[in-house]
Structure 1
Amino acid sequence: MSFTQPWSWTLLALFAVVIWKISRVGRRPGSFPPGPPTLPLIGNLHQIPQNRSHEQFKKWADEYGPIYSLILGTRRVVVLNTDQGVKDMLDKRGSIYSSRPDSHITDIVTGGLSFAMMKYSDTWKMCHRIFQASLSPKAAGAYLPYQRLENLQMLNELVDDPSQFRASIRRYTHSLMTQLVLGFRTVNNGDPKLQQLYSDFEAWSELLGKAISVIVDLYEPLRFLPDALLPVRQQAKKLHQAQLGLFLDHWRSARKRIQDQTSQPCMAQDVLKAQKEEGFSDDLASYICGFLLIAGSDTISTQLTVFLEAMILFPDVQRVAQEELDKVCGDRLPDKDDQANLPYIHAMIKESCRWMPSAILGIPHANIKDDEYLGYKIPKDTVIITNVWAIHNDPNRHKNPRAFDPARYLHDRNSSRQSALSPDVTQRDHFLFGSGRRLCSGMDIAENSLFLSISRILWAFNISKEKDADGNEITPDPDDIVGGLAAMPAKFPAKILPRSEQREKAVRDAWKSAQEHLHEGTGQWNHVPEDLPYAQVNIKSKV
């Protein structure tokens, strides 16, 4: 090549710029928070463990302090390890830090329609308005008849076959959400739509855990590869079609019941009203409902499983809780009205969410413009991770953090929503439900479900270690945590037995009485539960 022509110098300059930019990939800018040493091109990518990554994130928090950074290929990540950092950035600067980072596989699986993963936009704001009205603290009380019914069926199933406690919990939480969102009950564990919802979610989590899924996010030019060379994308497209099909089927059935005036009160009524006002597609309407099915079903079921594991490992806590229940409730089942007189049970809910949160590293945020914090420059589109595990296990915040100790919350009678909105972040109970404008709208419903379940299970049952075939007790490992999008304890057996014949009879009688309100053949409600109020959405209200 002759360098006497002007165009040749232009090509050389462009080539030099490309080489220079490539050479910067994997390096930490001097203005960025500190972090572990990087390697060219990959940064810290090689240091992220495939399993139990939260443990490594906690070690880096101990080493680098309240805020550190990771360089993952072309992507810059800031990790917040203190409650104050979360308050300062995600709460106080919510207008900047309320978006989500790009995720190629997630966008394909969800079609860009999942509220949880959606970027901060007008569409997100519209969805948020729907959730804020339908899932407000006031509206949460409207759903208690649904929660009581589903809870009684779960208790009865635990009497019948306690070895299937995970399946019973899943049916309970899923049926609760199908009632709240779509207006019908999920009557049994074998329901194919229940099975598909969980299997699709697990497949999505598995896809995101694959190395190639991470790589296409960190090196975006790889997204231009054809499907034949990127099979994970083919799998994501198939999963999207399956998930969309499930959600659309749910949505269209709910809409028909609403139009026929045969629907129970449910959130789909608000979604249909919003659709008529805003003109959004059936696909988006179905994902608004589908997101709630996933989020509500998984979060509540995980935290109830966490609670059972804790009861096995900390029997003294179980005894204290049962003494309180016996003193307040005697021989009757606890109910929501008892919560004010059950401070230890109230504290157990908070401790379950702190001790093993399903959102172990939160859901990443992203900033929509350049910012600065503690003297560090945070460029636009930086990934912001809330290190929930590190915050929950900070010994300066929670003494002896790996102990399950509800007593640490006995002074705190606030709900988790009140706690999250407190100006004093040091008094916040936990970070399970997110932060800032991404704070979970359904947290009040989740807390009500956890209270009814935890109080009634402890009132009715003793929970202890199961034995293996040789008669040896099986002790669950609290550090054996699995999952991708949502973490949860690895499978463990539990011995769940009624505390007395009288308590067993009380459970069976309560369920038998509740069934009088259900259709004998379908198991659905015969009529709308009495005194069931329902909040309608003011879709034009501002967030």
Structure 2
Amino acid sequence: MLKLSMNTQTVLAGICVGLLVYYVIKRMRYRLPPGPWCIPLVGHYKIYSSPEMHKKIAALSKDYGPVVRISFGPQTWVVLNDINTVVEAMVKRKADFAGRPHFTSGDVFTEGGKDIAFSNYSASWKFHRKIAGKALRHYLQGDLLENMIQENMNKFLNKMAEEKEPFMFKEYVDLMVFHQLYTICFGEKRPTDDPEVNKLLKIDNDLIDKLGTGLFEDIIPYFKDIYPTKKWQMFLSMVDEMLTVLRRKFREHVETFQPGVNRDFIDSMLIAKQEAKDEGDEAALEVMDDTHLVQTISDIFFAGVDTTRFTMDWFVYFMTRFPEFQAKCQEEIDRVVGSEQPSMKDRSKLDYTEACLFESMRLSNVVGIGLPHMTICDSQVGGYDVPKGTTVVINHWALHHDPKYWKDPEEFDPLRYLDENGKMKPAKPDSWLPFSAGRRVCLGESLAKPEILLMCANLLQRFEISLPEGVKPNLEHRLPGFGVELPSDYKIVVKERNRD
């Protein structure tokens, strides 16, 4: 027993000495960004385990500058807290920072990094992003997207009109958006109470609510093989359930696919694969197996539903909190659209409504800490060295609340985006970055902005939305994890508008 104890002490001492030597060598070789002291291996636990991680790091940047180094367990993270360092890293040195770090949970979720959002920077990644972007642009041609939105919105707005008591808007917006993306990806229009859509919605909500603060196995990966936590086991079960649905939808499309007939996003992927076969492009076909294509579909579906439904929920929250802004949006919609439903041709004239949407995106903080990047070579940012393999993240909350760029950053003010004539300014504000930037900019940005605007315009055109009588706006919000902020539960009352 004594011998075993001595051996254990020797191993631990060796590990500590090795880490110390590694740290000293690294510090001598690189001028690393500054950050607070932490316990080795444990890291800044109070920061990375906090739902308000984004605010804690923003506070640190006041002492350490816009580039802050923190330890996520044994891993080193560099957090960018102002727009200048973000542009330097993600735009000017975009290839350097285009990688993705390896996470144990991400490896499971993406079946070994075969998706777009979480896979590392490579020729395969660029190829899949290209064909996915082409597929998404298909929905911006003609009136395809607006017809889909109008039909989908009418279905749920009619149900909202039947509500006689105050109700949770979140429950409706979740279904609206899930049905919207379901049609885009799978080409099907399902009933409002469809069990398969509800199943996907439940899986997604469970992933956010139950696992939002992260998994221990992402910090110390080998624990998944020795003593996996209950959260990890739950995660594996939910991912398997989700992928089972997507694989089945994909197989159904393969069995009914007709070359040249594009019913939806899955067909767009199959058309791209057929084109590669016709051209004899073996290199493309190697990275277009069923797993890669299912993972691309998963990216588009789940990334699209979350950002859209959270943004719309916040938009309605702000419209009920500030009825004067809602009234101005409705006056504009009535003037521009008239008795018709809002369509793509109206987008350029709905300046005030779009400004309210942009301000909702800024103030709501749907994305607090962005998806992690990784340096694929030694690089620099803000005058500091960032070694190859370092995880780098954008603190979107810090950018969207930076007093250097936003007067009264906690105030909701749509005029920030309008010129003296009430038109949207030709360039977005410098520190407005809800869709990230550089090589990893959000793939669905070009689709998401018109989609959300048309959905919001349809909603405000039909209804006057308010809180129940006697209820004051709830200024609190939920923090499921990693800087994401969602409105606390609130109910609304809708009243059909007289637009004669």
- In the alignment, residue 265 of structure 1 is paired with which amino acid? R
State the distance in 1 between where 2:138 and 2:80 align. Answer: 29
Aligned to 1:193: 196
State the distance in 1 between where 2:322 and 2:399 align. Answer: 22
Farther off after superposition, 42-51 or 133-142: 133-142
Seen in structure 2, the aligned counterparts of structure 1 residues 487 and 192 have a Cα distance that, compared at 3 Å, is farther
Farther off after superposition, 343-352 or 42-51: 42-51
Seen in structure 2, the aligned counterparts of structure 1 residues 220 and 175 have a Cα distance that, compared at 3 Å, is closer
Seen in structure 2, the aligned counterparts of structure 1 residues 499 and 83 have a Cα distance that, compared at 3 Å, is same
Farther off after superposition, 272-281 or 102-111: 272-281
Note the C-alpha offset of 1:478: 4.7
State the distance in 2 between where 1:413 and 1:495 align. Answer: 30
Seen in structure 2, the aligned counterparts of structure 1 residues 186 and 490 have a Cα distance that, compared at 3 Å, is farther
Farther off after superposition, 362-371 or 59-68: 59-68
8 Å CA contact retained: 1:98, 1:365: yes
State the distance in 2 between where 1:186 and 1:358 align. Answer: 27
Match runs of 1:94-243 below 5 Å:
94-112=94-112, 113-136=114-137, 139=140, 142-161=144-163, 163-188=167-192, 190-206=193-209, 208-209=211-212, 213-214=215-216, 216-223=217-224, 225-226=225-226, 228-243=227-242
- In the alignment, residue 72 of structure 1 is paired with which amino acid? F
State the distance in 2 between where 1:320 and 1:202 align. Answer: 33
Note the C-alpha offset of 1:351: 1.2
Match runs of 1:172-321 below 5 Å:
172-188=176-192, 190-206=193-209, 208-209=211-212, 213-214=215-216, 216-223=217-224, 225-226=225-226, 228-259=227-258, 265-276=263-274, 277=276, 278-279=284-285, 280-321=288-329
The one of 413, 430, 438 aligned to 2:424 = 413
8 Å CA contact retained: 1:183, 1:265: yes
Asked if 1:371 corresponds to 2:371, the answer is: no
State the distance in 2 between where 1:244 and 1:41 align. Answer: 34
Farther off after superposition, 201-210 or 491-500: 201-210
Match runs of 1:352-367 below 5 Å:
352-367=360-375
State the distance in 2 between where 1:389 and 1:241 align. Answer: 32
- In the alignment, residue 237 of structure 1 is paired with which amino acid? L
8 Å CA contact retained: 2:135, 2:269: no
8 Å CA contact retained: 1:110, 1:240: no
Note the C-alpha offset of 1:107: 1.4
Seen in structure 2, the aligned counterparts of structure 1 residues 229 and 181 have a Cα distance that, compared at 3 Å, is closer
Size of the aligned set, in residue pairs, is 472
State the distance in 2 between where 1:83 and 1:406 align. Answer: 20
> Helix, strand or coil for the counterpart of 1:385?
strand
State the distance in 2 between where 1:439 and 1:463 align. Answer: 34
Seen in structure 2, the aligned counterparts of structure 1 residues 260 and 485 have a Cα distance that, compared at 3 Å, is farther
Aligned to 1:6: none
Cα deviations by residue, 1:471-499 (Å, 9 ceiling, x for unpaired): x4142225444455954223211222222
Farther off after superposition, 326-335 or 166-175: 326-335
8 Å CA contact retained: 1:48, 1:56: no
Cα deviations by residue, 1:280-324 (Å, 9 ceiling, x for unpaired): 322222221122111111211111101011112222211222222
Seen in structure 2, the aligned counterparts of structure 1 residues 255 and 483 have a Cα distance that, compared at 3 Å, is farther
8 Å CA contact retained: 1:309, 1:476: no
Note the C-alpha offset of 1:348: 1.7
- In the alignment, residue 424 of structure 2 is paired with which amino acid? R
> Helix, strand or coil for the counterpart of 1:43?
coil
> Helix, strand or coil for the counterpart of 1:494?
strand
State the distance in 1 between where 2:36 and 2:432 align. Answer: 27
Note the C-alpha offset of 1:218: 3.0
8 Å CA contact retained: 2:344, 2:454: yes
8 Å CA contact retained: 1:184, 1:264: no
Instruction: Give the TM-score taking structure 2 as reference length.
Output: 0.85
- In the alignment, residue 136 of structure 2 is paired with which amino acid? L
Q: Which has the higher contact order (CA 8 A, sep 6+)?
A: 2
> Helix, strand or coil for the counterpart of 2:491?
coil
Farther off after superposition, 316-325 or 25-34: 25-34
Cα deviations by residue, 1:385-413 (Å, 9 ceiling, x for unpaired): 11100100112211111211111101373
8 Å CA contact retained: 2:149, 2:455: no
- In the alignment, residue 128 of structure 1 is paired with which amino acid? R
State the distance in 2 between where 1:140 and 1:441 align. Answer: 17
Aligned to 1:326: 334
Match runs of 1:358-437 below 5 Å:
358-411=366-419, 413=424, 419=428, 427-428=429-430, 430-437=432-439
> Helix, strand or coil for the counterpart of 2:17?
helix
8 Å CA contact retained: 1:433, 1:440: yes
